[in-house]
Structure 1
Amino acid sequence: MSTIEQEITLLKGLAQNDRTAIETIYRQNYAMIQALILNNSGSVDDARDIFQEAMIVLYEKASSATFELNCQLKTYIYSVCRRLWLKKLQQQQRYSLSVDNLEETIPVDDVVEEHEKKNTDFTMMDTAMSKIGEPCKSLLDAYYLQKKSMQEIAEEFGYTNADNAKTQKYKCLVRLKKLFFAQYKSE
């Protein structure tokens, strides 16, 4: 399913109060909004409030039969949150510039572009991990995600000692890097 189709599905799910769609939108976008608010005189609570308000706006738009998304969903959410935050700052008299000068205050394109690049890199790493095969996938998962020691990995995977497990982990990392960078160069 393409990104556009996924986003249309998410918006339809949001309009129908589908919990999975709502959670997916939160998971994919909240960190970016929290960074925006924290980097611009806000708190974590402010970020939660602004994101919630943006979700209400998005829900109302998604429920409307005439709404047509003309950009990526994260760009739309970022834009709504940015406007809501600047409006709140202006109301608190912590921000005196007019809303016309937004681009000077918050470099939207840079932040969105950086976020998109990270998402692309994560997607490419996920693809590389799916291609690496076993036992490398399980070994790297055990070490990096489950935070197991080399001794635990040696016992679990049947290696004679922790040094052999460490050597195998290194070989797996080399394979993963090759897969990742082959993909990276082709993009």
Structure 2
Amino acid sequence: MKDREILDRIVKGDERALDYLYKKYYRMMTNIVLKNNGTEEEAKDVYQEALLAFWQKAASGKLVLTSKISTFLYSICLNQWRKELDRKSRLSREEVEKEDYQGYDEKERYKIVIDCIGELGDTCRRILTYYYFDGLNMSDIAEKLNFANTDTAKTKKYKCKKKLDSLIKERYSTTDFFD
């Protein structure tokens, strides 16, 4: 089939023209992706998206071919693959930046929490340390601190946690974590 015939068939809605294009240019178009660090699956996706874009433009009657269909498809595939590589590159950079921030953020938060726990009274410091850092359950904490029962330990822990939260919020803001 000649390009003009393919285009005419597409305008008429003949999906066999799409199948013909798919098979005829498959290897040429997927090689664009494969030769530029892409996988077979990515190559298929890019080619299918390019064919769909071509089909929609041709079917709308707005396509004026100034080159061969293969050249037109090639440029669509190349542009789509470049966009995908750019997106991957951005995501990769964001992941690295996020890891850098998260590592700093976690260390900084840990230090702030430890400092603030140290400023609480002895009972609160011990309850929060036992619970959050030593992993003790509330009945063990009640026993260690000679509380009447587990409910007393839970209530104390709740109040101590509230104090800690208030202290942290009073002294620190988000900008202290990210400069």
TM-score of the superposition, structure 2-length normalised?
A: 0.47
TM-score scaled by length of structure 1: 0.45
When Rg is computed on C-alpha atoms for both structures, the one with the higher figure is 2
